[in-house]
Structure 1
Amino acid sequence: MIDTPAGALEYANADDGPPLMMIHGTGGGFDQGLLFASGLRQSGFRIVAPSRFGYLGSAFPDDASQCTRPMCWSRCSTIWASTACRSPGALTGL
């Protein structure tokens, strides 16, 4: 869990290896991101998966509309920086 300008954000940081951020396009928490990326985890990637607004322990901002999407991406980059990634990695979305 990290604090962001939009509120608390829950995320998972699973396994070792080159980091890959899994941002999925449907509603849900980090658990769904880990499920979608299971093949990548088995291939040796570390998966960083944030929960979306209002899911699991993540906050639901007062304005969670399309207008807040830049805030969401800002939150994801905050997670990426907070994981202390020392090796090259990738950001991806499904």
Structure 2
Amino acid sequence: MSIINRLDQVFKENKITNRVIAKYIKRSEGTVSKWRNNKRQPSMNELNKIAELLRIDVRNLLNKSDWSESKAPTYLEFKKSLKKS
């Protein structure tokens, strides 16, 4: 699984504990741990709540996307392939 969020880095940098986040978001510490280890992902609403609590931009909780090396078709390429089918 790819590393989607930066929660572990942000939490370490700011000395944030899973316990405090879990209580604020009303989730279990185990759930927050899974988010932190990228085994599961929080919803956008949950990410927004964390960002608000930490007073940071929600985008700082996510890794930037770089599709420059992607082998997946673009939207237009895929759309064209559907017409051929």
TM-score (ref. length: structure 2):
0.28
Higher relative contact order (CA 8 A, sep 6+): 1
- Which structure's residues are more often strand, by fraction? 1
TM-score (ref. length: structure 1):
0.26
- Which structure's residues are more often helix, by fraction? 2
Greater gyration radius: 2
